[in-house]
Amino acid sequence: MCLFCEIIKGNIPSTKVYEDDRILAFKDINPVAPVHILIAPKEHIASANEINTDNSKYVAHIFEKIPEIAKAQGIESYRVINNCGSDAGQTVMHLHFHLIGGVELGEKII
Protein backbone atom coordinates (compact mmCIF):
# COMPACT_ATOMS: atom_id res chain seq x y z
CA MET A 1 0.00 0.00 0.00
CA CYS A 2 1.24 3.47 -0.87
CA LEU A 3 0.12 6.13 1.62
CA PHE A 4 -0.11 8.92 -0.91
CA CYS A 5 -1.97 6.75 -3.46
CA GLU A 6 -4.51 6.08 -0.68
CA ILE A 7 -4.75 9.81 0.05
CA ILE A 8 -5.18 10.53 -3.68
CA LYS A 9 -7.95 7.90 -3.89
CA GLY A 10 -9.62 9.47 -0.85
CA ASN A 11 -9.26 6.32 1.25
CA ILE A 12 -7.15 8.22 3.79
CA PRO A 13 -8.26 11.75 4.72
CA SER A 14 -6.17 14.80 3.95
CA THR A 15 -6.60 18.56 3.89
CA LYS A 16 -6.62 19.25 0.18
CA VAL A 17 -5.62 22.70 -1.00
CA TYR A 18 -5.50 22.07 -4.77
CA GLU A 19 -6.52 19.22 -7.03
CA ASP A 20 -6.90 18.58 -10.73
CA ASP A 21 -6.83 15.52 -12.97
CA ARG A 22 -3.05 15.12 -12.66
CA ILE A 23 -1.93 16.33 -9.23
CA LEU A 24 -3.01 16.72 -5.62
CA ALA A 25 -1.74 19.27 -3.11
CA PHE A 26 -2.51 18.76 0.57
CA LYS A 27 -1.28 19.95 3.94
CA ASP A 28 1.62 18.11 5.53
CA ILE A 29 0.44 16.37 8.69
CA ASN A 30 3.58 17.50 10.54
CA PRO A 31 4.28 21.03 9.25
CA VAL A 32 7.72 22.57 9.69
CA ALA A 33 6.53 26.08 8.76
CA PRO A 34 3.22 28.01 8.70
CA VAL A 35 2.78 26.89 5.08
CA HIS A 36 3.80 23.30 4.42
CA ILE A 37 2.06 21.73 1.45
CA LEU A 38 2.85 18.44 -0.25
CA ILE A 39 2.29 18.25 -4.00
CA ALA A 40 2.14 14.82 -5.61
CA PRO A 41 1.31 13.41 -9.03
CA LYS A 42 -1.82 11.25 -9.16
CA GLU A 43 0.20 8.62 -11.01
CA HIS A 44 2.40 6.60 -8.68
CA ILE A 45 6.03 7.57 -9.25
CA ALA A 46 8.22 6.22 -6.46
CA SER A 47 10.85 8.94 -6.37
CA ALA A 48 12.73 11.48 -8.44
CA ASN A 49 14.85 8.57 -9.66
CA GLU A 50 11.81 7.26 -11.53
CA ILE A 51 11.13 10.43 -13.51
CA ASN A 52 11.35 9.74 -17.24
CA THR A 53 10.18 11.16 -20.55
CA ASP A 54 6.79 9.43 -20.17
CA ASN A 55 5.92 10.81 -16.74
CA SER A 56 7.86 14.08 -16.54
CA LYS A 57 4.68 15.88 -17.63
CA TYR A 58 3.43 15.41 -14.06
CA VAL A 59 6.51 17.12 -12.69
CA ALA A 60 6.19 19.95 -15.20
CA HIS A 61 2.54 20.36 -14.25
CA ILE A 62 3.38 20.51 -10.55
CA PHE A 63 5.83 23.33 -11.18
CA GLU A 64 3.35 25.13 -13.45
CA LYS A 65 0.85 25.08 -10.57
CA ILE A 66 3.21 25.91 -7.69
CA PRO A 67 2.84 29.72 -8.07
CA GLU A 68 -0.94 29.40 -7.95
CA ILE A 69 -0.88 27.02 -4.98
CA ALA A 70 1.55 29.31 -3.12
CA LYS A 71 -0.49 32.41 -3.87
CA ALA A 72 -3.63 30.71 -2.56
CA GLN A 73 -1.69 30.12 0.68
CA GLY A 74 -0.84 33.83 0.83
CA ILE A 75 2.85 33.52 -0.02
CA GLU A 76 4.99 34.35 -3.00
CA SER A 77 8.35 33.51 -1.43
CA TYR A 78 8.88 29.87 -0.58
CA ARG A 79 11.15 26.84 -0.80
CA VAL A 80 10.39 23.71 -2.83
CA ILE A 81 12.09 20.53 -1.63
CA ASN A 82 12.19 16.98 -2.91
CA ASN A 83 13.77 14.28 -0.81
CA CYS A 84 14.95 11.40 -2.99
CA GLY A 85 15.84 8.18 -1.23
CA SER A 86 16.53 7.26 2.36
CA ASP A 87 19.77 9.21 2.80
CA ALA A 88 17.84 12.33 1.80
CA GLY A 89 15.06 11.53 4.28
CA GLN A 90 12.39 10.33 1.86
CA THR A 91 9.90 8.47 4.03
CA VAL A 92 6.96 8.16 1.61
CA MET A 93 7.94 6.45 -1.63
CA HIS A 94 5.55 8.39 -3.83
CA LEU A 95 7.14 11.40 -5.52
CA HIS A 96 6.19 14.64 -3.82
CA PHE A 97 7.43 18.18 -3.46
CA HIS A 98 7.33 20.08 -0.19
CA LEU A 99 6.18 23.69 -0.61
CA ILE A 100 7.36 25.49 2.52
CA GLY A 101 7.00 29.12 3.51
CA GLY A 102 5.22 31.71 5.55
CA VAL A 103 8.28 32.35 7.68
CA GLU A 104 11.86 33.58 7.20
CA LEU A 105 13.58 30.36 6.13
CA GLY A 106 17.16 31.56 5.94
CA GLU A 107 19.47 30.99 3.02
CA LYS A 108 20.63 27.48 3.83
CA ILE A 109 18.70 24.25 3.42
CA ILE A 110 20.80 22.35 5.99
**Binding positions for ligand AMP, 36-95, rule CB under 6 A:** 38, 83, 89-92
| 33: contact with ligand AMP by CB under 6 A | no
CB nearer to ligand AMP: give 22 or 48.
Answer: 48
Which of 82, 81, 104, 103 lies closest to 34, judged by CA?
103
Q: How far is CA 92 from CA 7, 53, 76, in A?
A: 12, 23, 27
- Side-chain-side CA neighbours of residue 6 (13 Å): 8
36, 94, 96, 98: which one binds Zn ion (CB under 5 A) = 94
Query: Which of Zn ion, ligand AMP, none interacts with 51 (beta carbon under 5 to 8 A by kind)?
Result: none
CB nearer to ligand AMP: give 73 or 90.
Answer: 90
Q: How are beta strands 78-81 and 35-41 bridged, if at all?
A: unpaired
Query: Which of ligand AMP, Zn ion, none interacts with 44 (beta carbon under 5 to 8 A by kind)?
Result: Zn ion
- What is the amino acid identity at position 58? Y
Q: Which residues are designated catalytic?
A: 96
